[in-house]
Amino acid sequence: MGLVAVAAVSVASAATKPAAKTRSVTGFSDTAETVMGTLTAPPNARFMTRIRNGKMGGVLLLGNGWLTRGTAATVTAELQQAACTRGEPLLIAVDQEGGLVRRLAWAPPTEAPAYMSSPSVARSQASGAASALRSVGIDIDFAPVVDTPGSTSNFLGSRAFSHSRTWNAQMARAFVGGLQTKGIAATAKHFPGLGLASGNTDKGRIVIRAAAWKLHQGLLPFQSAVRAGAKLVMVSTAVYPKLDGSKRPAAFSSRIIDGLLRNQLGFEGVTVTDSLTAPAADRIPHTATRAMLAGSDLLIFGAESASERGYSTLLADQGGSTRLQLRLTEAAARIRALKAWLAARGGPVCSG
């Protein structure tokens, strides 16, 4: 299909796009690999130029209503064709949790996580979601939510499986398996947990003051997801003073990312930030650089302008920082390994 082989994309118009006459085989730089562009509508010329110029290694599809089956397939094929002028495909991700957060309204999960009645149902719902995502050229589901709410008033509501961490551990394992056996990368979120949060981190600076022992209890579903082989873990932008006395948001905390997630839980995959345009993150100078240095591998943003700034910040800061250069190399290696895993399971590849 032109320059891109995207498994099961069935829109004929995408297949008829002409192949580029010239191409680079250099792929994306380490810096670009770590930055996701953000789309809330079909891409404009400026966005496509960013891809061809190697200024992002992935794309996050946001917003509701515009991602019909036909539009999603056409857009992803167009994005991948642009990326393949550099010889390397993009990562393309959505939030497809089910219930309130379901970017593809026509696709599973048809039930909200709270209403999935058993691990077999969770696995089936995730498997259906994976087939739908693969059919339109999407590689990553930013799901499942494996936080354990401490009360019925927690903002996550039906996005969480239940108020039981042991049940959530079972459901996490099942959902991850349902996605990944069909070749879609799963993302356990929001580490180390938003079950005790007083509000949504996208809307304000949230400080979770719970004791460390109580926060550690909430790690059980994350541990289950990691043991099930989840390819990504999303790190929250809440602040956890009892886990990191510096009071940095988790996505900026090496104590939380390296100490808890990597060393204690043994996670070896890709760490992805929650939105770096969230209030607690956006107030930190050199946001993208600080997140990268703390151990965040893949950076996502709530707006395309912020994604552009993030890339520019990393590019400007790395010249004087060997530490940042090493972190970018480490993060990019994990992201390229993820791309290889996806390609081996029917994901996008650049031909020729």
Q: Domain of 313: which CATH number?
A: 3.20.20.300
**Do the Cβ atoms of 276 and 310 come closer than 8 Å?**
yes
Distance CA 324, CA 311 (A): 13
β-sheet bridge partners, residue 232? 187, 270
pLDDT tens track for 212-258 = 999 999 999 999 999 999 999 999 999 999 999 999 999 999 999 99
- The distance of Cα 154 from the centroid of its chain, to the nearest Å, equals 23
* Residue 195 structure tokens: 């079950």
**Do the Cβ atoms of 24 and 101 come closer than 8 Å?**
no
**Which residue is listed with tokens 């938003």?**
194
pTM assigned to the model: 0.92
Distance CA 37, CA 59 (A): 5
Distance CA 67, CA 82 (A): 19
Q: Is residue 79 part of a domain?
A: no
Q: Is residue 70 part of a domain?
A: no
Task: Round the average pLDDT of the chain to a whole number and report it.
Answer: 92
Q: Is 186 helix (H, G, I), strand (E, B) or coil?
A: strand
Element at 191 (helix H, strand E): strand 185-191
Apex 15 CA angle, 14 and 18, nearest 5: 95
Distances (CA, A) of 249 to 72, 155, 238, 338: 33, 18, 5, 25
- Amino acid identity at 281: A
Kindly tell me if the per-residue pLDDT of 351 is higher than 90.
no
**Amino acid 9: pLDDT:** 40
Q: Is residue 130 part of a domain?
A: yes
pLDDT tens track for 28-80 = 999 999 999 999 999 999 999 999 999 999 999 999 899 999 999 999 999 99
Helices (H) and strands (E) in the chain, counts: 13, 11
Domain that holds residue 328: 90-344
**Amino acid 352: pLDDT:** 64
Task: Please tell me the total number of residues recorded for the chain in this structure.
Answer: 352
* Residue 173 structure tokens: 């394992």
Q: Is residue 84 part of a domain?
A: no
- Amino acid identity at 128: G
Total structural domains within the chain: 1
Q: Is residue 66 part of a domain?
A: no
Q: Residue 129 CB: number of other CB atoms within 10 A? A: 29
Q: Is residue 62 part of a domain?
A: no
Q: Is residue 275 part of a domain?
A: yes
**Amino acid 16: pLDDT:** 31
Kindly tell me if the per-residue pLDDT of 177 is higher than 70.
yes
Distance CA 270, CA 285 (A): 24
Q: Is residue 65 part of a domain?
A: no
